[in-house]
């Protein structure tokens, strides 16, 4: 699986620009964004969800604590 550094190396730009294109928080030209997104699709890039969770302090995980999983009431 490709990383941001792999994308940047293939395009010939810094990995910071690739990251900025994905987050959209700072200016990156529309032509460069299009090239980055096209290359990401070609390389089957997927963001590392653990790294995103560490950066944003959000995991989008819901935990459910059940005292006895074999009790039929809890299964319903």
Domain-wise residue ranges, the chain: 4-75
pTM: 0.70
Q: What is the pLDDT of residue 51?
A: 85
What does the pLDDT profile of the chain (76 residues) look like in tens digits? 889 999 999 999 999 999 999 988 788 999 999 999 999 999 999 988 888 899 889 988 898 888 887 878 776 6
pLDDT given for residue 33 in this prediction: 94
The percent of the chain in helix, strand and coil, each rounded to the nearest 5, is 55, 0, 45
Is 1.10.260 the CATH number for 4-75? yes
């Amino acid at each position: 699986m490709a990383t941001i550094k792999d994308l940047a190396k293939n395009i010939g730009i810094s990995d910071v620009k690739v990251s900025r294109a994905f987050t959209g928080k700072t200016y990156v030209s529309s032509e460069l964004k299009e090239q980055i997104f096209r290359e990401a699709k070609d390389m089957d890039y997927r963001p590392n969800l653990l790294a995103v969770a560490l950066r944003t302090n959000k995991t989008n995980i819901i935990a459910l604590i059940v005292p006895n999983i074999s009790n039929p009431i809890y299964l319903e």
